Amino acid sequence: MQLKTDGLVIREYSVGENDRVITVLTRDYGIIRAFANGAKRLKSRSQSATQLLAYSSFVFYQGRDSYSVNEAKSKEIFFKLREDIEKLSLAQYFCELAGELGPEMDRADDYLKLILNTLHFLAKDSRPQLMLKAVLELRMMSLAGYMPDLTACDHCGNFEDAGMFFEKEKGLLVCCKCGSGGRAVTASVLAAMRHICYSDFVKLFNFTLSDEALECLSVLTEAYLKAHIQKNFKTLDFYKSLAQLKL
């Protein structure tokens, strides 16, 4: 049985001298892990199309216990990301997150569109890195069924107060009149979180925050992610280590 679809290679590792095993976030079938036999050979037609961060059109052969790549033709390689170690490490974190949250054997249009647009903005330097990180974390969590309830205070229904707190474990808001548990969140950061969760995709990346607010947003979305996924992402740790070296 053959499966034809487009997808982004979110992980690849070598098997022997010439072969690869790749993990692909596909549009029609979600996460697929497949053997790409001979893909590392210099004359292989699928060499560039099966490397990490390659967005390609694929034809997979579905065997009894595994998939293999019959055909692969690259559409976008994201060369700019490979020229900057900081961007590359952040892109690898995005891929690791997609591999953790993406569905298997189910349509993943929204996941694929989200990560491709995020990588495009990252490669072009057209959005701040912390903004892209926060958008991908919170929107992908929302797609995966972990959307927080940011509409109003969970206790009294207050939409906006002088002081609001975000409880990462429960994924909800509490105003200062009802309690002080969780992390304090400013009006601008809360507005950004609501925008990320609830806006139409065409408007998703259309907001601005100060550098300080972006840092707070990134901390909040990451804390929420880790509270629910409970996994340490090595690619994120490496990205942060590079950021520390720049200070």
Q: What is the predicted pLDDT for the residue at 40?
A: 80
**Beta pairing class for 164-167 and 183-185:** antiparallel
Please indicate, yes or no, whether residues 123 and 190 belong to a single structural domain of this protein.
Answer: yes
- Segments of the chain with pLDDT less than 70: 245-247
Please indicate, yes or no, whether residues 48 and 18 belong to a single structural domain of this protein.
Answer: yes
By the 10 Å C-beta count (0-12 exposed, 13-18 middle, 19+ buried), 106 is classed as: exposed
Domain containing 176 equals 80-246
pTM (two decimals): 0.95
Please indicate, yes or no, whether residues 106 and 213 belong to a single structural domain of this protein.
Answer: yes
Q: What is the predicted pLDDT for the residue at 96?
A: 97
Q: What is the predicted pLDDT for the residue at 112?
A: 98
Return the ∠ at Cα 240 (arms to 235 and 246), rounded to 5°. 135
Domain end (from 77, 107, 136): 77
Q: Count the domains in the chain.
A: 2
Query: How far apart, in whole angstroms, are the C-alpha atoms of residue 193 and residue 216?
Result: 11
Q: What is the pLDDT of residues 204-214, one digit of tens each?
A: 999 999 999 99
Q: What is the predicted pLDDT for the residue at 44?
A: 78
Q: What is the predicted pLDDT for the residue at 246?
A: 67
Q: What is the predicted pLDDT for the residue at 247?
A: 53
Q: Residue 104's domain is classified under what CATH number? A: 1.20.1440.120
Domain end (from 39, 62, 77): 77
Please indicate, yes or no, whether residues 159 and 70 belong to a single structural domain of this protein.
Answer: no
Please indicate, yes or no, whether residues 113 and 228 belong to a single structural domain of this protein.
Answer: yes
